[in-house]
């Protein structure tokens, strides 16, 4: 597998598969109506969040509970920049990327030397602080009433344009995570997750790489948050509710943690199920949580692992 030639072939296969999948998804608007286009648009937003959370939690073993907060930071940064400075939306998206990256760096430096449970508590506390701050800073964010955000792609065909925008975001995110995972950095992150002390003894500057992966993940989450804000047209502190973080975790675990395709499948599956069973309200979360417990206890490979098992079983027949 690690023969350089074979590595290149695997990389080529992975990228080809991703592009083929994206091309296939690109055909979907030709067969579906606006309703499903909107469901998939949101699903792609969650693909970006789930894939980047998988990079820090799945591949690096850093169980952050602040990923949704970075999406909110990006969303609000872009919205406030566009509203108050009056600059175009694309500059707001740049501001979102910068602010979430910077916050990711600061939180990473402060927290990533902590061990498992303390990191989870510290990041959760950070996320709660962001939520409360957004709610309290009424004069700037309009608090729980919500901030009206300038939308992208106004007019007819908006749903399709947004669909492609978010498909591009999801594809770029998956590609970035895939390339990181196949690079030397990917080896370092997996080594850190397996045994941080040994990783240090092997010469890996563990804190540096943990911060680096955290910063990349936070930056992309902020970018996704900005896209979401300009798509939805309204931002509220609900974006930083713990339920949002739980959704991301559920998507990754049900899809298959520590895999590239798991969070993609998980995000799309959960978003479709959430919409399909909307009338069941909060019960959906209970069912998803039970599914997560069952997967964690019985078969932690998730949906993607089940698909692989099935494929192996079929090939043996």
Partner 1 sequence: MDNLSIRVEEGELRGLIGPNGSGKTTFINLLSGLYKPTSGGVYFFGKRIDRLSPEDITQGGIMRTFQVARLFGDMTVLENMLIPAFTQGTSRREATRRAKELLDFSLLGRLSHEPARILSGGQSMLLQIVRGFMRQPLRLYLLDEPFNGVHPTIKEVMIKTIQKMNREEGISFLVVSHELTIVRRLCSRISVLHAGRLISEGTMREVANDPLVIDSYLGG
CB of residue 154 to partner 1, shortest distance in Å? 48
Residue among 24 and 203 whose Cβ is closer to partner 1? 203
User: Coil, strand or helix: which one is 98?
Assistant: helix
Tokens of 129: 């602080």
Give the DSSP letter string of 147-203: EE-PPSS-STTHHHHHHHHHHHHHHHHHHHHHHHHHSHHHHHHHHHHH-HHHHHHTT
User: Coil, strand or helix: which one is 113?
Assistant: coil
Residue among 61 and 222 whose Cβ is closer to partner 1? 61
Residue written as token pair 């919409």: 275
Residue among 27 and 197 whose Cβ is closer to partner 1? 197
CB of residue 63 to partner 1, shortest distance in Å? 16
Count of beta carbons in the 10 Å neighbourhood of residue 172: 14
Count of beta carbons in the 10 Å neighbourhood of residue 75: 32
Residue among 191 and 240 whose Cβ is closer to partner 1? 191
Residue among 7 and 306 whose Cβ is closer to partner 1? 7
CB of residue 206 to partner 1, shortest distance in Å? 7
Residue among 6 and 144 whose Cβ is closer to partner 1? 6
Residue among 13 and 184 whose Cβ is closer to partner 1? 184
User: Coil, strand or helix: which one is 86?
Assistant: coil
CB of residue 108 to partner 1, shortest distance in Å? 18
CB of residue 109 to partner 1, shortest distance in Å? 16
Tell me how far the alpha carbon of residue 263 is from its chain's centroid. 8
CB of residue 182 to partner 1, shortest distance in Å? 10
Residue 235 host element (H or E): strand 234-235
Distance, CA of 227 to CA of 156 (rounded, Å): 19
Beta carbons within 8 Å of 86's beta carbon, 6+ residues apart: none
CB of residue 183 to partner 1, shortest distance in Å? 10
Which residues lie near partner 1 (CB under 8 A)? 1-4, 7, 184, 187-188, 190-191, 193-195, 197-206, 258
Distance, CA of 225 to CA of 96 (rounded, Å): 8
Tell me how far the alpha carbon of residue 222 is from its chain's centroid. 10
């Amino acid at each position: 597998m690690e023969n350089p030639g074979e590595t290149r072939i695997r990389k080529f296969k992975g990228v080809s598969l991703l592009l083929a999948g994206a091309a296939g998804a690109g055909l979907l608007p030709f067969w579906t109506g606006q309703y499903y286009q909107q469901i998939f648009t949101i699903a792609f937003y969650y693909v970006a969040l789930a894939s980047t959370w998988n990079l820090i939690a799945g591949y690096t073993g850093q169980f952050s509970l602040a990923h949704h907060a970075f999406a909110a930071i990006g969303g609000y940064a872009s919205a406030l920049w566009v509203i108050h400075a009056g600059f175009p939306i694309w500059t707001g998206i740049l501001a979102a990327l910068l602010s979430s990256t910077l916050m990711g760096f600061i939180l990473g430096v402060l927290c990533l030397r902590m061990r498992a449970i303390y990191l989870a508590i510290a990041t959760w506390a950070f996320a709660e602080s962001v939520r409360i701050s957004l709610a309290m800073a009424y004069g700037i964010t309009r608090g729980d009433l919500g901030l009206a955000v300038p939308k992208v792609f106004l007019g007819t065909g908006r749903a399709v344009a947004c669909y492609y925008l978010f498909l591009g975001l999801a594809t770029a995110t998956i590609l970035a995570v895939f390339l990181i995972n196949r690079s030397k950095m990917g080896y370092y992150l997996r080594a850190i997750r397996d045994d941080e002390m040994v990783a240090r003894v092997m010469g890996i500057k563990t804190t540096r790489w943990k911060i680096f992966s955290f910063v990349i993940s936070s930056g992309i989450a902020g970018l996704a948050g900005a896209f979401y804000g300009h798509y939805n047209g309204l931002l509220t502190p609900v974006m930083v509710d713990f339920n949002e973080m739980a959704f991301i975790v559920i998507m990754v675990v049900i899809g298959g943690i520590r895999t590239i395709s798991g969070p993609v499948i998980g995000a799309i599956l959960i978003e479709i199920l959430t919409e399909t069973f909307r009338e069941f309200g909060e019960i959906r979360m209970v069912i998803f949580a039970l599914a997560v417990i069952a997967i964690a206890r019985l078969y932690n490979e998730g949906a993607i692992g089940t698909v692989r098992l099935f494929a192996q079983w079929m090939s043996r027949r």
